[in-house]
Chains A and B, each alone.
Chain A
Amino acid sequence: MANDLAISCIGLKKYYADVKAVDGLDLSVARGECFGLLGPNGAGKTTTIEILEGLTKADAGEVRVLGHTWNNDARDLREQIGLSLQETQLADKLTVYETLRLFRSFYRRGPDPDELLRDLSLDEKRNARVGKLSGGQKQRLAVACALVGDPELLFLDEPTTGLDPQSRLQLWEVVARFRAKGGTVLLTTHYMEEAERLCDRIAIVDHGHLIALGTPKELIAKLEAANIIEFTSAPALEESALGGITGFHGATRRGEGWLLRVDSLAVAVPQLLDIIETSGAKLVTLSTHAATLEDLFVSMTGRELRDA
């Protein structure tokens, strides 16, 4: 049922002069769900979310938000959604309260600005100028502005980029509280922990394409490997030397060394050390970790999320 969906888009395309920002994207987000768009910078996340927010026009494709289209019901939709843009600087010379009060005046309904400031732990900064706030406080104010119309659907474009861990945790709590009241969230991020922690489902996008979709567990399961071994040796090993390791699921070259995707560390690590020793090479570095979404992205694209 289309109306049970908070967001659906089919065949979304947006081309700029020199780049295909979004190239045929299909997405659907259920009501009450927290959905994450994960991808490196330039993957088309922001273009996608701004099309869904009705701020950018798509070149092709169908978009429905809360059962409405932007062409027909823009004003009603604006009352029902809240959003924070990737880079918004609110007016520096206004205070926190004045800013929120201004945004409150645009909506027919919504919480008392002071109540919202308490919810977002901004009440101490109520009368501070926006220009004097820390990055985390500014971001919480941006989210407060997104919530001031009591929206059903919240869009957050990279809400925690550049924030310290504590500010990030505070924002995650805000999102969790919004969801507890039945709200739907669509967020973009290039932090895999954020996606894993907050999202029910995640779409991994790269170059305007969807390359993987599922729950965090399903996505990690796609790796077919529970663990990652990262090592370098001198001289470097050939890929063919690694294939014989028990529970081996693939390797990605990284600089002088390799990322190995394996089932069990207890089994694979001794075998790897043997291979290195018999080949006459020397082990330079070795580290291991449990597989994450980041590893999925690396295995699919050969690049890393943050610097791809």
Chain B
Amino acid sequence: MPKVHGPLVELSIARVKEFVRETEAIFWVFGFPLLLTLALGFAFREKPPDRVPIGIAAGPAAEQRLAALSRSPALQPRIYDAKTGREELRRGKISLLIEGDTQPVYRLDPTRPDARAARIEADDALQIAAGRAAAFVAREEHVQEQGARYVDFLVPGLIGMNLMGTSMWGIGFSVVNARLKNLLKRLVATPMRKSHYLLAQFLSRLIFLILEVVVVAVFAWLVFGVNVRGSIALFALVCLFGGMAFAGLGLLVASRARTLEAVSGMMNLVMMPMWLCSGVFFSYERFPDKVKPLIRALPLTALNDALRSVMNDAATIGAIVPQLLTLVGWSLLCYAIGLKIFRWV
């Protein structure tokens, strides 16, 4: 007979086969992140900065202002009647509305960065048109190297988010499904070690983890020229630690749930704060200083920070020790608690 391997290997192989034969799951693991990377990458592709749309309230000075403002490369001015102009401003369609007859009045929401930028640009354009002389002429140098573009920020975040999603769903669903079908009960009625079952869930994740990271990373490299500037081995290590941390978290979330609805709800509850706070789409530097230590303690923050350091800043292992420790801490803690409170029957 073909050799039967040890239980840990057999359990892992069985899990991998089950997963590969689940066609829908393949899409969510490989297809979805590619589509997301593609969509976001194109949405934020390199192009001249957008002109900020601004409004000019109709009036005696309006035509003159339109001419002056049209000369600015940063602005896209248009004349509105007074009522529509305010309406458009309120809806956020324009960032600034210029009113007033001889003395201009800038109407804007000062909390919007684009509104403040538009105000400065517009003010400059109007002052120059009114005859203000420039005190000096500055030269601009444009930065285009990797790490500065949005897509460079985005790709590590997407890899991190993807690792979180697939690891947690992959383990959570399979565990709860097996519990629902009484399969867990059947398994603990054999001499199988419980730890082997849970470890096999981790090990089988590893294989997909490698595949899904490679797929997204290669895609981002080919399409957007996003490179791993640091060591590939270190990049792989970070992905591994991240995948293990989320596999642990998935196991913990699924450790007691009896229904797929319950586990889905809990997954979302756990992942939501990380989608928002862990710097997937935008930097968490904007959060207040007081909550930053909390945000950094989240596994997705640690993973994203480490991935960005290695991919964009060519960081060496010494620079990402805190992040790696955070990830290891999460996996050990979750695995230990999960094994302890796991509901088998």
Partner-B contacts on A (CB < 8 A): 53-56, 75, 78-79, 83, 85, 87-91, 93-94, 98, 101-108, 112-114, 129, 145, 149
Q: Which one of B4, B5, B9, B18 contacts A93 once the chains associate, using CB atoms below 8 Å? A: B18
Give the shortest distance, in Å, between B5 (CB) and chain A (any CB): 6
Docked complex Cα distance between A104 and B178 (Å): 19
Docked complex Cα distance between A145 and B182 (Å): 14
Residue of A nearest to B14 (CB): A102
Known contacts A94-B17, A149-B191; 9 further A-B pairs (Cβ under 8 A): A55-B189, A55-B345, A88-B181, A89-B181, A89-B183, A93-B21, A102-B14, A105-B11, A106-B187
Residue of B nearest to A110 (CB): B4
Give the shortest distance, in Å, between B133 (CB) and chain A (any CB): 77
A79 proximity list for chain B (CB < 8 A) = 191
Q: What are 13 A-B interface contacts by the 8 Å CB criterion?
A: A55-B188, A78-B190, A85-B182, A85-B189, A88-B182, A89-B182, A101-B4, A105-B6, A106-B190, A106-B192, A113-B4, A114-B1, A129-B21
**Nearest 8 interchain pairs by C-beta:** A105-B10, A89-B181, A78-B191, A93-B21, A106-B190, A106-B192, A93-B18, A112-B1
Q: B7 in the interface, Cβ–Cβ < 8 Å? A: yes
Residues 12-47 of B, flagged 1 when their CB comes within 8 A of A and 0 if not, give 001001100110000000000000000000000000
B11 proximity list for chain A (CB < 8 A) = 102, 105
Given A98-B17, A105-B6, A90–B190 Cβ distance below 8 Å? no
> Which of A75, A101, A114, A145 has the most chain B CB atoms closer than 10 A to its own CB?
A101
Given A94-B14, A102-B10, A102-B11, A83–B5 Cβ distance below 8 Å? no
Docked complex Cα distance between A114 and B1 (Å): 8
Docked complex Cα distance between A98 and B2 (Å): 11
Residue of A nearest to B2 (CB): A101
Q: B186 in the interface, Cβ–Cβ < 8 Å? A: yes
Docked complex Cα distance between A106 and B10 (Å): 9
Docked complex Cα distance between A306 and B17 (Å): 40
Q: Which one of B14, B189, B192 contacts A83 once the chains associate, using CB atoms below 8 Å? A: B189
Interface residue total, chain B, C-beta cutoff 8 A: 27
Docked complex Cα distance between A55 and B186 (Å): 9
B292 proximity list for chain A (CB < 8 A) = none
B186 proximity list for chain A (CB < 8 A) = 85, 88, 90, 145
Q: Determine whether the beta carbon of A53 is less than 8 Å from that of B189.
A: yes
Within 8 A of A (CB), among B174-199: 178, 181-183, 185-192
Given A83-B189, A93-B21, A149-B190, A105–B5 Cβ distance below 8 Å? yes
Q: Which one of B9, B14, B183, B191 contacts A88 once the chains associate, using CB atoms below 8 Å? A: B183
Q: Determine whether the beta carbon of B18 is less than 8 Å from that of A91.
A: yes
Give the shortest distance, in Å, between B90 (CB) and chain A (any CB): 55
Docked complex Cα distance between A129 and B22 (Å): 12
Docked complex Cα distance between A108 and B4 (Å): 11
Q: Determine whether the beta carbon of B22 is less than 8 Å from that of A93.
A: yes
A53 proximity list for chain B (CB < 8 A) = 189
Given A88-B182, A91-B183, A101–B10 Cβ distance below 8 Å? yes
Docked complex Cα distance between A101 and B13 (Å): 11
Within 8 A of A (CB), among B183-232: 183, 185-192
B17 proximity list for chain A (CB < 8 A) = 93-94, 98
Given A89-B183, A91-B18, A78–B4 Cβ distance below 8 Å? no
B18 proximity list for chain A (CB < 8 A) = 91, 93-94
Docked complex Cα distance between A145 and B7 (Å): 15
Docked complex Cα distance between A55 and B190 (Å): 11
Give the shortest distance, in Å, between B20 (CB) and chain A (any CB): 9
> Which of A79, A105, A108 has the most chain B CB atoms closer than 10 A to its own CB?
A105
B185 proximity list for chain A (CB < 8 A) = 55, 85, 88
A91 proximity list for chain B (CB < 8 A) = 14, 18, 178, 183
A87 proximity list for chain B (CB < 8 A) = 182
Q: Which one of A94, A105, A129 contacts B4 once the chains associate, using CB atoms below 8 Å? A: A105
Docked complex Cα distance between A103 and B4 (Å): 10
Q: Determine whether the beta carbon of A103 is less than 8 Å from that of B190.
A: yes
B191 proximity list for chain A (CB < 8 A) = 75, 78-79, 106-108, 149
Docked complex Cα distance between A54 and B189 (Å): 8
B14 proximity list for chain A (CB < 8 A) = 91, 94, 98, 102
B181 proximity list for chain A (CB < 8 A) = 88-90
Docked complex Cα distance between A219 and B4 (Å): 47
B189 proximity list for chain A (CB < 8 A) = 53-55, 78, 83, 85
Residue of B nearest to A104 (CB): B4
